[in-house]
Chain A
């Protein structure tokens, strides 16, 4: 999946088949960018794409906004991020995706964009804070109900730059398997 013109460069997400279910291969120039792209991938998997009117000022959208799917008739809701602390960025990524799955199933809200901050705190645990914009989607129209993001084969790694995707620096790369 490539970002549209004007979206943040370097990041992306690809869906791959897995023995039992399905996985996301994600990359991002920062951890936050990586998490945003993972959210885009999850939304693409779960929500049936619908045609939407061209948004004015779309060149100003973030990568995740540009790629997120779902009906656009209703205004997005702003939701504070609530993810349990984790011992490492891998655990935080799983927690983040599971938070989005919860929002989708209980509120019918699909990720649209986010202002995220991932950091390791003095207790040694990683925390994700911030806010996301989520758009209402009809639950009955979901493409698939993702049950959970799993720890199986979970990987987040930093590739020092320059990389082809980000000539100006390094890149985070992740793989996560989803139970569907």
Chain B
């Protein structure tokens, strides 16, 4: 994919690879990459490990600079990167969250089976393509006033549900109940708001999608039942984020942080890691704006799920409630949050500390019993939604105690890219890919053949390998595996 990384990588466990703190003078801690031995060659094929080492140089880093098995090159932080910073002495970095703030996944279950859907799949996909605004420059039917938008930024998914774009009970099944505390609409620029005014309820482009899937394998019957999932059941996965509003928040605050780095005398190995002390004005403002964008994303996925319900209801001639189209869960995979975790204290002792945990292309994976897991799943553990690519499986996993102890409760977020968009387009044409997928029984709707080619299965790592590595490392456990039937590409 890029230049091969030549730095030191030492195997320290079955699926653990250390970049020692001695690799760079500025490293304050070691790096740790979770991957199976067979995945390492791909991981070393670009500079993502260097980015793990760069994150280890940031002030106030607590524990290790971590990378999940789907690690690949990103801007500043690698995709798949997880790092925690002391909430008093540490930093916060827009590069540790990414441009698409709270890009994430939502899963809807249904009472439908493959037999119900297969005869109508073609028409259903046409309905979805008509109902869900998608593609470059897409705008939705929701026209927000400025005061509506301010509400969305603070209240997130609840705003959408209260305005008829979701069900009240949806909110109880979302990470953070669909609204991260601390959002302040006044910290979101006018430019960002303008980008967000006409895009609520739109899928966007790139790797965003709506996918109809069938549950093919159940690995843990008890947990599957707890999540309301069973073999042969039809589910719908939605992947989108905070759209232009989130991109603009990241852009705005990277410029702010670019100046803050000079003001606070922070030395950085990569300018894209621009950051500010968490407790500085710049740091607080970024968090408040980032939380607003995260809430916009939760509202966005709530609206998208609403369009999905409408399309199903129309095609099956029954209300969405009668089809059982409930939310299973919704996870963020680009976000920074304040969380309490156990850290090393006095020799031999552990203590609870408030940390600013950055997850960029990584999913929170809290275990059963954790107070931050929504009530519906507290006894089971937090569902983790991991999409594959449009030609392979996706998974529902569950968080573990080991993830909480080792990775601040984090695991993988997807397959992870292995080819750049341009390289993917050089290897396959969109029209040819569409034919290949349809030959596999996967219906594809896309506004652009080029966009389809960019997201070709060959551009991604093997999601089975990624999920297996996360499980072997103890970061998450498989619950069910889904096979795609129809994909609406953004």
Contact = CB atoms under 8 A, between A and B. Distances in A.
Interface centre among B204, B251, B270 (most CB of A within 10 A): B251
A20 B417 contact: yes
Contact of B255 (A20, A84, A143, A145): A84
A21 B420 contact: yes
Given A142-B136, A150-B272, A152-B75, A105 B195 contact: yes
A56 to B, nearest CB: 31
Interface string A146-167: 0110111010000000000000
Given A22-B422, A148-B99, A152-B270, A102 B248 contact: yes
A143 B450 CA distance: 9
A17 B255 contact: no
Nearest to B191: A102
Given A87-B259, A91-B258, A98-B251, A180 B421 contact: yes
A86 B255 contact: yes
Contact of A19 (B46, B136, B244): B46
B195 A106 contact: yes
Contacts of B135: 140
Nearest to A141: B137
Given A19-B46, A86-B255, A179-B99, A152 B272 contact: yes
Contacts of B254: 94, 151
A18 interface: yes
Contacts of B271: 90, 151-152, 154
Contact of A147 (B47, B100, B274, B417): B100
A102 B195 contact: yes
Given A91-B258, A152-B272, A179-B99, A145 B195 contact: no
Interface residues of B, number: 44
B195 A151 contact: no
B255 A140 contact: no
A19 B99 CA distance: 17
B137 A21 contact: no
Contacts of B76: 151-152
A153 to B, nearest CB: 9
B350 interface: no
B117 interface: no
Contacts of B259: 85-87, 125
Interface of B: 1-2, 46-47, 72-76, 99-100, 135-139, 191, 194-195, 204-206, 244, 247-248, 250-252, 254-256, 258-259, 262, 270-272, 274, 417, 420-423, 450
Given A18-B420, A147-B99, 16 more contacts: A19-B47, A19-B73, A19-B420, A20-B421, A22-B421, A84-B255, A90-B271, A98-B251, A102-B191, A105-B244, A139-B136, A142-B137, A144-B136, A145-B136, A152-B76, A179-B75
Interface of A: 17-22, 84-87, 90-91, 94-95, 98, 102, 105-106, 125, 138-145, 147-148, 150-152, 154, 177, 179-180
